[in-house]
A and B are shown apart, each in its own frame.
Chain A
Amino acid sequence: MQSKSSRRFNIFANAFMILGVIFCLSPLVLLLVSSFTDSNVLIRNGYSFYPEKLSLEAYRYLFQSGTQIMRAYGMSFVVTITGTCLSLVITTMLGYSISRPGLPGRRFLTFYVFFTMLFNGGLVPTYLMYTGTFHIKNTILALLIPNLLVRAYYVLLMRSFFQNSLPEEILEAASIDGASKLKIFYKIAVPMAKPIVTTIALFSMILYWNDWQNGLYYITTKTGLYTIQNLLNRMVQEIQYLSSNATVGGSIDLSGIPSATVRMAIAVIGILPIAVLYPFIQSNFAKGITVGAVKG
């Protein structure tokens, strides 16, 4: 039996939520619509939810002449998949090993990982080190390694999982049967860790896919290594540079840079994999966040 006040409240709550939906979705809808807008109409009337004329020209350009764009797209996939796989392997191994109850030095090692979440050197020493000592500038390693390959938070999530959700009896039984520690790990522990591995894989994929900082810092000459995010970033930079240096009365020569609608199309394909995987991501996210919020 629904009281009058709770029915009224329900309507109010739904109305507020729908406003929230409009707030969240409208920029994305605008992006999508702009990518399908006729280029001249966009320049004339500006970005609009209901443009005068729709057109596929931006996407046609993308797929026919956008070789650099497609290359960057491929690069995004390569970096994301490679990075995520490597990350999972290293993170799982580390998380598992520091979860083992009798491990000597276990608390020290956990603190060693955890401390990196409290204190860090910051951009300057990190950059000087990666470029000066390790010379990864303008290599693909620069897109894979800095700050993304192993995250302390994920290691601790893994450790929590292996500590709390893995029944010791099964591992002991296998050990008694003569299985080596390594075998126990990849034949029993890992398959049982599928939920947490999936969650971290998703977090990791999103992190790599969306990363633009490593490219910004470390890829300066080899533009072939750009990911989609880097490409979008550089285009904005060039436009900013040109418009701040435009001569008075003269128009900016944007001929080297794709038009606004093409840039919108690039942004759309930049979100696409995430949008496609979204239902899958979304259910895992809630699980992952609540697990992390409750310290294990």
Chain B
Amino acid sequence: MRMSKTKVLTGKKKKSTGWKSYIPFYLMALPGLIYFFINNYMPMGGLIVAFKSYSAKKGIWGSDWARFNNFRYLFMTNEAFNITRNTLLYNVAFIICGTFLAVTVAILLNEIRSKKASRLYQSVYLLPHLVSWVIISYLAYAFLSADTGFINNTILKLFGGKVINWYNSPKYWPVIIVIVYLWQSVGYTTIVYFASVVGFDRGYYEAAELEGAGTWKKIKYITLPLLKPTIITMVLLAVGKIFYSDFGLFYQVPMNAGALYPTTNVIDTFVYRGLMQQNNIGMSAAAGLYQSVVGFIIVIAANLLVRKIDKDSSFI
């Protein structure tokens, strides 16, 4: 065995012979590839159910064609507009508030003298991100419950205000949802910005110090401009997902309360409720397809934009 290999080496550079020698790799890749076929590609084909009048007996492929009826039905209602508006507005709010807060925290973390304190703060901020949405809904409930919630029991005592039935009042929820979103996500987003800030060339800051620049000036004229590409990239990547919502946030935290639908129903929750609660497969399928297609276009557009700015960061 060894002899024949040496023979090959003496003459030419040892070269793998065609694709047959790669068979072990293809075999290794197979389970994962099959999984993606089942979990991701088959449902892509199944999107066709949006154009069908689904019957469980006949299955997706055997059901009769409904052509555009499901879509007509979907867009005839107010729902389509409401859920799209909610999805988009929330994501815009998330992007603006989330970016602002994460950048602020990242910069402040960097300015803190004690590295130990800085790391400790970061650890604490990341913790909410690791809590499941179900449990987060319990945390929210501890604050917002009408009769036992912390807010009702303390605003009452401290400020003498009226008790608010939070889970019955849709108008407060845009703010509540944004706050909960920030609580859950800022620790995570900050890490990316912080990694950038830490990597900036110290030379700029030293030069500025020699010119007598104070901390605020250094942030304004060095840190922020240097952060701009990262911020733009992160924002664009987030915009790419603007048609999607975190199902956990919008389903669990409002506790699926019907009264709150007007301000908390997003496309993802609408699809879920249509499918699981109302058994209206046609409409939820149409909404799902709508989301997948528009979402796809937006993701591609956003990534192409990112590519223009910073080639390494785009996915494409």
Contacts of A224 in B (CB 8 A): none
Is there contact, CB below 8 Å, between B214 and A5?
yes
Is there contact, CB below 8 Å, between B60 and A30?
no
Kindly state whether residue A43 has any CB partner on chain B within 8 Å.
Answer: yes
Stretch at the interface among B82-90, B138-146, B220-228: B138-146
Interface residues of A in 9-63 (CB under 8 A from B): 9-10, 13-14, 16-17, 20-21, 23-25, 27-28, 30-31, 34, 42-43, 45-49
Kindly state whether residue A248 has any CB partner on chain B within 8 Å.
Answer: no
Contacts of A9 in B (CB 8 A): 111, 214-216
Known contacts: A24-B124, A112-B36, A285-B126. The answer to whether A119 contacts B296 by CB under 8 A is: yes
Known contacts: A236-B255, A290-B195. The answer to whether A94 contacts B31 by CB under 8 A is: yes
Stretch at the interface among B40-48, B91-99, B170-178: B40-48
CB distance from B209 to the nearest CB of A (A): 8
Interface of A is mostly: helix
Q: Mark B238-274, 1 if CB is under 8 A from A, else 0.
A: 0000000001100010011110000000001001100
Known contacts: A21-B121, A24-B125, A290-B195. The answer to whether A46 contacts B149 by CB under 8 A is: yes
Most buried by A among B54, B113, B132: B132
Bound CA span A59–B306, Å: 51
Is there contact, CB below 8 Å, between A274 and B139?
no
Q: Mark A180-216, 1 if CB is under 8 A from B, else 0.
A: 1110010000000000000000000010011111000
Is there contact, CB below 8 Å, between B139 and A46?
no
Is there contact, CB below 8 Å, between B135 and A6?
no
Is there contact, CB below 8 Å, between A240 and B191?
no
Partner of B132, one of A14, A45, A270, A290: A270
Minimum CB distance partner of B284 in chain A: A124
Kindly state whether residue B309 has any CB partner on chain A within 8 Å.
Answer: no
Interface residues of A in 210-268 (CB under 8 A from B): 210-213, 217, 229, 232-233, 236-237, 240, 244, 260, 263-264, 267
Number of interface residues of B (CB under 8 A): 106
Is there contact, CB below 8 Å, between A121 and B32?
no
Kindly state whether residue B49 has any CB partner on chain A within 8 Å.
Answer: yes
Contacts of A147 in B (CB 8 A): 39
Minimum CB distance partner of B40 in chain A: A116
Is there contact, CB below 8 Å, between A17 and B150?
no
Is there contact, CB below 8 Å, between B132 and A210?
yes
Bound CA span A91–B139, Å: 34
Interface residues of B in 286-304 (CB under 8 A from A): 288-289, 291-292, 295-296, 299-300
Minimum CB distance partner of A181 in chain B: B24
Kindly state whether residue B148 has any CB partner on chain A within 8 Å.
Answer: yes
Is there contact, CB below 8 Å, between B296 and A176?
no
Contacts of A20 in B (CB 8 A): 105, 121, 124-125
Is there contact, CB below 8 Å, between A47 and B149?
yes
Stretch at the interface among A67-75, A77-85, A126-134, A163-171: A126-134
CB distance from A241 to the nearest CB of B (A): 10
Contacts of B24 in A (CB 8 A): 180-182
Is there contact, CB below 8 Å, between A124 and B271?
yes
Is there contact, CB below 8 Å, between A260 and B148?
yes
Is there contact, CB below 8 Å, between A150 and B36?
yes
Is there contact, CB below 8 Å, between A120 and B35?
no
Contacts of B292 in A (CB 8 A): 119-122
Bound CA span A49–B304, Å: 49
Contacts of A178 in B (CB 8 A): 1-2, 5
Is there contact, CB below 8 Å, between B32 and A150?
yes
Is there contact, CB below 8 Å, between B14 and A176?
yes
Is there contact, CB below 8 Å, between A109 and B29?
yes
Contacts of A121 in B (CB 8 A): 40, 42-47, 288, 292
Is there contact, CB below 8 Å, between A129 and B22?
no
Kindly state whether residue B80 has any CB partner on chain A within 8 Å.
Answer: no
Minimum CB distance partner of A289 in chain B: B191
Interface residues of B in 46-63 (CB under 8 A from A): 46-47, 49-50, 54, 56, 59-60
Bound CA span A279–B123, Å: 8
Is there contact, CB below 8 Å, between B216 and A267?
no
Contacts of B130 in A (CB 8 A): 206, 210, 274, 278, 281
Partner of A128, one of B1, B35, B54: B54
Bound CA span A202–B191, Å: 17
Q: Top 6 A-B pairs ranked by shortest CB distance?
A: A125-B46, A121-B43, A94-B32, A210-B132, A46-B153, A122-B288
A-B contacts, 14 of them at CB < 8 A, read A2-B113, A17-B112, A30-B150, A31-B139, A46-B145, A48-B150, A123-B268, A123-B275, A128-B281, A178-B2, A181-B25, A210-B131, A236-B141, A295-B315
